[in-house]
Structure 1
Amino acid sequence: MDSIPLSSQFVALAVLLVLSGFFSMAETAMMASNRYRLKAAAQGGSRGAQHALDLLAQTDKLLGVILLFNNLVNAAAATLTGVIVIGLFGEGELTLAIGTLLITFLILVFSEITPKVVGAGYANSIAPVVAFVLKPLLKVFYPVIWSVNLLVSGILRITRLNPGDQEEGHALSADELRALMTESGHFIPAAHRRILINLFELEDVTVEDVMTPRNQIEAIDLEQPLPDIQHQIATSHHGRVPVYVGELDRVLGVLPQRRVVSALSAGELDKDEIRALLTKPYFVPSATPLYSQLQFFQENRQRLALVVNEYGEVEGLVTLEDIIEEIVGKFTTGQPGSALSLTWADGSVIVDGSRSLRELNGKLGLNLPLQGPKTLNGLLLDHLQDIPESGLSVRIDNVTMEILHTEDRMVRSVRLFKPVDETKR
């Protein structure tokens, strides 16, 4: 080393620090890169991304080749620094201390912190590039890397440490996928993002949450006079209508409206004809998860189901359209008046008492309790333990409510006031 000019030694030290920084940056970039984005780039034809994925599939060998060269370069840099310091200041304990502090500072700043910050900040861009260097190095020095990893595996077995399956460690849970969708930003349009997030939430929603309540079901009672039944069929805006005798719990079947149009127009429709046209009713428990119900509809080729409780009593009605609306949002078609908008106007909004609490929470950004009653009317009756009078105000979970109209033992309309903390934002 004494024959090598001092300037050349400084150049060699700088090269070693750069190489050490490269391997540090490569390690951080490879481990911090988004594997799903790399897969998408590889499918688009990026060879660097494919090389990066190949290396990440064998993490132990990837880390082996990086750390092998990183430690070799750092050791060489430390040795060269000692030679330079001794050449400048002579031998001695103070000289060695100065050399140790100097190389520690240089490696820390130029070979560790700075490269790792850059690697973490631009991981997805750097990983495909450094993969072109790391993959050939791994092939050339594979016997050395294999020997080192064999020793490491033996140590892990002795200490009974098991890193586990690498692929399982990178699998995403449902909550992680939901968070990924939420934070996807401009990569996924907002409308598509809402649909994907709604799909994840189907398992937490039951048919009871989206069904049409019993008192709002449009059904035909065969005990009514025939002219009344014919008028109800002619004016119905539903494609399928349940038919019962006396009370809704005695359902005979479901009447497809299209089958009775011709008979009704010809004036030949009677009760026996209605019975003959009925299809078998389809019943589901109220606690059925919405995702399972969607599968049941598909497997049973059904589009409408009557929701029953544990006693077999009809609680409501759910359709395939209800489930689809839960995923993609409300349609503009359907029952007149059912698509009224839910938006704050001057800090308040008037809503129908039959509105679903889930819908109010989603549209108005509220946090009304979902355990228990499913509608606003049910929540008020449960909270007050009485049928309230018009003009009464109540506060539930930071939401002030003014009861505007009560009729037939039900709260028909309510004015909701935007929570104070939401108004201040």
Structure 2
Amino acid sequence: MDTIPLWAQLLALALLILCSAFFAMAETALMAANRHKLRHLAKNGNQRAITTLWLLERTDKLLLLVLIANILLNALIAALLTSMAISAFGHEESVIFLTAAAIAFLLIVFAEIPPKVIGATHPEKISLLSSLLIKPLMRLGKPAIWFVNLFVSRLLLLLRIKPGAQASELPRLSPEELRSIVLEGGNFIPQKHKSILLNLFDLETISVDDIMTPRAQIEALNLAAPAADIKQQLATCYHNKLPVYEGEINRIVGILHVRKALALLNTEEFSAAHIRPLLSTPYYIPPDTGLFAQLQYFQEKRERLGIIVDEYGEVQGLVTLEDIIEEMIGEFTTSTPGGNEAFSWNAQRSCQLEGGVALREVNKRLDLHLPLDGPKTLNGLLLEILQEIPDHPVAVRIDDCVFEIVQAQHQAIKTVKLISLNKH
């Protein structure tokens, strides 16, 4: 080494450290790279992404190459630095000890921690660049990889580990993991799209009775009513399809498409008998049907409206295809008579609601956490807590919110004032 100039030795040392840092950074980047993103780039013809995926499909050989290269480079760095130290300071034990400490410091600071941090911070960018160099090196180092792998594979076989058995497959993600990916999408996913995706995940956990129009708010046509009243309701009804019953709501005889009945309004001898031929068969739904399943049923049966009935055949409510779509993408229709208008906290952090409003809607709009595993409406929740219908103003506190009952009528709570104790 005495014949080699000092500057050449320092240059060789710097190059060895640089190469070691490259392999450490490339290994971290390749292992941390998002394979979904690489698949997308590869499908669009990105050659670097194709090369990177080719390497990741041979993870065992890739890791062997990186480890062999790193160990050889680190050994050369240690030998070169030790030789330089002995040439300069002699064979003293303290020189050997201090040289070993210097080697560890150089490798940790310049060849390990910073390269791996950089590789983990920009995995896709670095893996796409480094793969172009690592692939030829893998081919050149094939004999060494084969020789080392001969022993490694036998050891893994004893441990009953099969490397690369699922390397070519995308990792399977649970719904919770997919939800986390969407939530952490940041600026890559527009807020509206993110909201729709999250709502789609919720469809599996929501049933039709969570979003139904309650029985008391159903707009329906009573064939037992006077003919003049029926004509008046047809002329002023809000919906395009109406459930039609006879006498009381549990005796539904069909579904009327209002447009088909408009011509009857000019008939002088109009009666309920004119409507019966226009009715279609009602479609009934159990209340615990999942929302996603019901969406599929609507599609298969070519229906847009279903009547929700309990185990005794009692009508509980009504759900439409539009209700499910709104649950996915947000409200897009106008408010209906008897329905709940849009609501939110006012400047005093209070809000007045109808008792029939759905608890899910209250939680969503007011950012509350009311329990959803029991009653579905605000009226039902308060009656469950009070265990009686109040005949005078009363208030109930749930978490950081006070529910003040303003009006109770006809065996139900009609109006409730919410007051938030959290003023922020």
Compared with structure 1, are the counterparts of its residues 392 and 217 closer, same or farther at alpha carbon in structure 2 (3 Å cutoff)? same
- Residues 1:21 and 2:21 are matched in the alignment: yes
Structure 2 CA distance for partners of 1:70 and 1:261, relative to 1, 3 Å: same
Query: Alpha-carbon deviations, 1:300-351, whole Å to 9, x = none?
Result: 0000001112223221110001101101111242514746222211211111
What's the TM-score, normalizing by structure 2?
0.94
What residue number does 1:347 align with?
A: 349
Pairwise mapping of residues 151-166 of structure 1 onto structure 2 (< 5 A)? 151-162=151-162, 165-166=166-167
Whole-Å Cα distance in 2 between the matches of residues 216 and 351 of structure 1? 15
The answer to which of 120-129 and 377-386 deviates more is 120-129
**Residue correspondence of structure 1 range 253-268 to structure 2 within 5 A:** 253-267=254-268
Q: Secondary structure at the match of 2:10?
A: helix
Aligned to 1:195: 196
> What is the Cα deviation at residue 33 of structure 1?
2.0
**In structure 1, C-alpha distance between the alignment counterparts of 2:60 and 2:123, rounded to whole Å:** 19
Q: Which residue of 2 aligns with 1:171?
A: 172
Tell me which residue corresponds to 1:111.
111
Partner of 1:368: 370
Partners of 1:204 and 1:289 within 8 A in 2: yes
- Structure 1 range deviating more: 260-269 or 352-361: 260-269
Alignment partners' CA distance in 2, 1:203 and 1:267: 51
Tell me, in whole angstroms, the C-alpha distance in 2 between the residues paired with 1:281 and 1:252.
Answer: 7
For residues 158 and 377 of structure 2, the distance between their equivalents in structure 1, rounded to whole angstroms, comes to 61
The correspondence of residues 282-361 of structure 1 with structure 2, limited to 5 A, is 282-336=283-337, 338=339, 340-345=341-346, 346-361=348-363
Q: Structure 1: 5+ residue runs without aligned partners?
A: none
Q: Distance in 2 between matches of 1:328 and 1:213?
A: 21
CA distance in 2, matches of 1:370, 1:47: 51
Superposed displacement of residue 42, structure 1? 3.5
Paired position in structure 1 for 2:416 = 414
Asked whether the 8 Å contact 2:284–2:306 carries over to 1, the reply is yes
Identity of aligned residues (%): 46
Range with greater deviation from structure 2 (212-221 or 202-211): 212-221
Aligned to 1:396: 398
* Residue deviations 1:24-66 (CA, integer Å, cap 9, x gap): 0111111122223333333444322332222222222222222
CA distance in 1, matches of 2:357, 2:340: 11
Classify 1:109/1:268 alpha carbon distance in 2 versus 1 (closer, same or farther; 3 Å): farther
In structure 2, stretches of 5+ residues that fail to align are none
Q: Report the count of equivalent residues.
A: 422
Contact between 2:407 and 2:413, CA under 8 Å: does it hold in 1? yes
For residues 278 and 42 of structure 2, what CA distance do their matches in structure 1 show?
57
Aligned to 1:4: 4
Aligned position for 1:42: 42
**One-letter identity of the residue aligned with 1:372:** G
Aligned partners of 1:336 and 1:214: how far apart in 2?
A: 14
Return closer, same or farther for 1:142/1:330 CA change in 2, 3 Å cut-off: same
State the alpha-carbon separation in 2 of the partners of residues 289 and 50 from structure 1.
41
Q: Distance in 1 between matches of 2:150 and 2:238?
A: 73
Change beyond 3 A, Cα 1:269–1:156:
farther
Counterpart position of 1:100? 100
Q: Which moved more, 1:197-206 or 1:401-410?
A: 401-410
> CA RMSD, aligned part only?
1.9
Amino acid corresponding to residue 302 of structure 1 in structure 2: E
Does 2:407 correspond to 1:405?
Answer: yes
Corresponding position of 2:148: 148
Distance 1:136 1:318, change over 3 A: same
Residues of 2 paired with 1:267 and 1:74: CA distance?
101
User: What pairs up with 1:46-57 in 2 under 5 angstroms?
Assistant: 46-57=46-57
- Residue 241 of structure 1 aligns with which residue? 242
Query: Match of 1:359, as an amino acid?
Result: E
Structure 2 match to 1:278 = 279
User: Which residue identity does 2:54 align to in structure 1?
Assistant: D
For residues 211 and 24 of structure 1, the distance between their equivalents in structure 2, rounded to whole angstroms, comes to 57
Which stretch has the larger CA shift, 345-354 or 327-336? 327-336
* 2: CA distance, partners of 1:325 / 1:410: 27
The TM-score normalised by the length of structure 1 is 0.94
The whole-number CA distance in structure 1 between the counterparts of 2:151 and 2:391 is 80
The 8 Å contact of residues 330 and 339 in structure 1, kept in 2 or not, is answered as no
Q: Distance in 2 between matches of 1:192 and 1:63?
A: 39
- Taking a change above 3 Å as real, the CA distance of residues 267 and 47 of structure 1, as seen in their structure-2 partners, is farther
Shift of residue 165, structure 1, vs aligned partner: 2.6
For 1:120, the equivalent position in structure 2 comes to 120
SS of residue in 2 equivalent to 1:243: strand
